[in-house]
A and B are shown apart, each in its own frame.
Chain A
Amino acid sequence: MPSSTLNTVIEDLKGIVGERWVITQRELMESYLRDETPDPVRPKPAENLVLVKPSSTEEVSLILKIANDRRIPVFPVGGRTGLVGGSVPTEPGIILSLERMNRIEVDRDNLMAVAEAGATLGELIKAAEDAGLFFPPHPGDEGAQIGGLIATNAGGARAIKYGVMRNYVRGLEVVLPTSEVLWLGGKTLKNNVGYDLMQLIIGSEGTLCVITKAVIRLFPKSKYMVTLVIPFNKRSDALKSVPAILRSGVMPLAVEYVQINEVLEAARHLNESWPVQRGFAQLIIILDGMSQEEVLGACEEISKICEANNALDIFLAETSEEQSRILRIRSNIYTALKPNMVDILDVTVPPSRLEELMDEVDAIGSKYGVYLPAYGHAGDGNLHVHIMKDAGNEHVAKKIKDEIYEEAIRLGGTITGEHGLGKIRLENLQMVLSEKHLDLLRSIKRVFDPNNILNPRGL
């Protein structure tokens, strides 16, 4: 697209959203040109861009109409907390930030929230809490926005009991690239009217439409919640405990696996201290329930299993302050390691194969003479592996990544469990999808977005 095309629409955009909300100076849109992807692998943003901040679905629709008519690429962005460059505007065009559309209404009778796309995860957690309800998942950074959480089908910790983002969305208001507004689903818990376009859009990473509003399922606030921290000397002992715990009938919100080096590093980064200083391998288990009795009963069950697997001890955080400190340190392992990081992977295998996968990752690490920090959502078989700068050059880092991917696939897993494809995983897509499968995906993209204006990235 010639830069003159973009310049001709700037006045129109100002007419739609008001002059204040159209930003053309590069230095003022700096933070919209990147997400949380580590620098070495993050795609470079394009040069000629305009940032637009609409305040309503109507304005989004008018913007997309202009963009579609003039064939101008549009990059919807949320809180820019993604890890695969999904929201980076890689072609000249419009950056569409829905941050002003941030209203949340809680419907207590139906246990649902109606949230606009620009509201943040932190705001949703708080709104639910204020209404005496609970939004269980916690995909890391609380600055993430609802639109982005849905577009990327975010996962994170606390996904065992009630699942990932997809399981919470009951309805969506979306604007198609051709400017029509659609309502999909609604406040019903069941809906069986034909193909489920809503589920297709969840996880479509801003390539099919712009999500403007969502109906999100909430849960009753549990009366009692605890976080257990369980240290083990050996990784195999920690990981062996996980399937046994899940088989025992206990249903935790989260089962996280961490290694001591990384949690201590994250705690240092936050100027906090990690509550359990011994044991190389640690499980963090979050449990909730209707009463202290019920939850402590489940804790005893877990305790029996872990002790049979040589747990060193079982620590219990009961106060909300202590529990949120543990979760915040866990959530910041990534930020603590980021300055020295090349890439973060989120390979996922059947939960029972996690130990094998970690052993393979170690083997790959020693083969290349590098340390590959790894931790993950053990209950989901979802492993985060960091490739650090000690890998040397980009070429070696890429080889390490590809080998880890091959191992995950060999173990019956996949290359990404939660971060998605974004712009930096497309090159590995053929490892997991057949040509026919890819063909179908391309056809779907053409049906929604005939002119390929929405987050164009080659799929």
Chain B
Amino acid sequence: MNIIVLMKQVPEIEKVRFDPEKGRLDRSSAGATTNPFDLNALEAAVSMGPMKAEEMLRDAIARGADRAILLSDEMFAGADTLATAYTLSAAIKKIGSFDLVICGEKTVDGDTAQVGPEVAEFLNIPHVAFVEEILQVDSCSITVKARMERSSYIIRLSLPALITVTKDVNNPRLPTLRDKLRAMRTPITIWGYKDLAEVADPRYFGFEGSPTRVVKVYTPTAERRRGQMISGQPEEIAQKIVQVLLENKVL
């Protein structure tokens, strides 16, 4: 069975610092790591990103991927979800034969969870998002359990198909030292704009091909704890707490 896994290298989220005055992220303090959700997906890897992302693909090989392809080109930079999905689907078309595409449910930096489903649409194959368990796979279908709000659904997809997986789907295995060392010596295939132009329309790549624009980025203000005392008779206290719950839209 040929499985393609889509991966992204993201900053180590807990180490990214935010400059509230400039409204900017300082990624320099953070190392880069594999998007944790993608580790749950991992089998054979395709990634779009800067050359640095090679490290991550080597990690993917150490964890069991047979082959790794990095999509890297200045023309791909600045892509939003649609352009990213389009570029990834072009790469999958170029790979040609596959039975299943797997991606993590979302990335920890963008948080959108929409690239996977958009890739499926471009490939014109069925997909299910938020898969928490793979129940059965045979030569022509895959049966999964997928989470939607308070319920799970048991769904059968005919292959080829795409699924996005949650953290519950498995516990990413640790690579062995031997695999790690082997992966360090494995060459990574790099595809650029020209490689994909054969199978796709380059006008839809990168920043130019992206319909959305980030106008502004800022840090949410509620950084510091308010430390506000609520006092009064028990009934008054209750009313004030309910007010807080209403203001925060949890009631």
Contacts and interface: CB of A to CB of B under 8 A. Distances in A.
Interface of A: 129, 132, 228-229, 273, 275-276, 296, 299-300, 303, 313-322
A300 B12 contact: no
A425 B71 CA distance: 63
Contacts of A322: 172, 174
Contacts of B175: 315-316, 318
Interface string B41-71: 0000000000000000001000000000000
Given A273-B171, A314-B178, A318-B180, 7 more contacts: A276-B174, A296-B177, A296-B181, A315-B174, A316-B180, A317-B174, A319-B33
Q: Which of B34, B39, B174, B181: most chain A CB closer than 10 A?
A: B174
B216 interface: no
Contact of A314 (B12, B29, B177): B177
A315 B34 contact: no
B176 A320 contact: no
Contacts of A320: 12, 14, 31, 33
A275 B174 contact: yes
A299 B176 CA distance: 11
B173 interface: yes
Interface residues of B, number: 21
Contacts of A275: 171, 173-174
Contacts of A317: 174
Contacts of B173: 275
B36 interface: yes
A328 B31 CA distance: 21
Interface in B167-209: 171-178, 180-181, 184
Residue of B39, B172, B177, B181 with most chain A CB atoms under a 10 A cut-off: B177
Contacts, number: 47
A313 B181 contact: no
Interface of B: 12, 14-15, 29, 31, 33-34, 36, 39, 59, 171-178, 180-181, 184
B16 to A, nearest CB: 12
**8 closest Cβ pairs, A-B complex:** A315-B174, A314-B177, A273-B171, A275-B174, A316-B177, A319-B33, A303-B177, A313-B176
Given A273-B171, A275-B171, A321 B177 contact: no
A303 B178 CA distance: 9
Contacts of B31: 320
A275 B181 CA distance: 19
Nearest to B33: A319
A273 B174 CA distance: 12
B175 to A, nearest CB: 6
Contacts of A315: 174-177
Contacts of B36: 319, 321
B132 to A, nearest CB: 15
A313 B14 CA distance: 31
Contacts of B39: 319
Given A319-B34, A320-B12, A320-B33, A300 B176 contact: no
Nearest to A274: B171
Contacts of A321: 33, 36
Contacts of B176: 313-316
A316 B62 CA distance: 10
Contacts of A273: 171
B244 to A, nearest CB: 24
A318 B171 contact: no
A126 to B, nearest CB: 10
Nearest to B174: A315
A229 B177 contact: no
Nearest to B172: A322
A318 B59 contact: yes
5 contacts: A275-B171, A303-B177, A315-B175, A315-B177, A322-B174
Contacts of B184: 296
Nearest to B179: A316
Contacts of A303: 177-178
A356 B175 CA distance: 33
A53 B31 CA distance: 40
A276 B177 CA distance: 13
Contact of A299 (B33, B59, B177): B177
Nearest to B29: A132
A317 B176 CA distance: 9
A10 B94 CA distance: 80
Interface centre among B15, B33, B180, by most A CB within 10 Å?
B180
B229 to A, nearest CB: 12
Contacts of A313: 176
Nearest to B55: A292
